[in-house]
């Protein structure tokens, strides 16, 4: 007999956004990682192109990054995971 067991089932994805503004200074000011520390819970309230992403319990993972040059828009990448049992960030 063969069996396969699954545990700690969860969903992983990387959110990507292209950030631009009226000028490079404004785009740079809008592109920050400070609030995207691992363990932060974020909500996706609407996503017409990928409705499966709509959820209130996405947990930011390590590895958030900003890429681009200093003359155009920036690309923000945020790795996130969703687990059914995690509903809020841990409190002290």
What's the pLDDT at 35? 82
Domain ranges for the chain, please list them. 11-82
pTM: 0.76
pLDDT in tens, 67-78: 877 666 788 899
Lowest mean pLDDT among 43-52, 58-67, 81-90: 81-90
What's the pLDDT at 3? 84
Question: Are 68 and 24 in contact, with CB atoms under 8 Å apart?
Answer: no
pLDDT in tens, 8-43: 888 999 998 888 777 767 777 777 788 888 989 988
b (16+ CB within 10 A) / e for 61-83? beebeeebeeeeebebebbbebe
């Amino acid at each position: 007999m063969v069996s396969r067991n699954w545990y700690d089932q969860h969903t992983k994805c990387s959110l990507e956004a292209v950030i631009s503004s009226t000028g490079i200074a404004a785009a740079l000011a809008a592109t920050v990682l400070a609030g995207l520390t691992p363990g932060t819970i974020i909500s996706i309230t609407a996503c017409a192109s990928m409705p499966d992403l709509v959820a209130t319990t996405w947990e930011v993972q390590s590895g958030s990054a900003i890429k681009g040059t200093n003359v155009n828009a920036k690309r923000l990448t945020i790795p996130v995971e969703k687990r059914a049992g995690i509903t809020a960030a841990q409190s002290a």
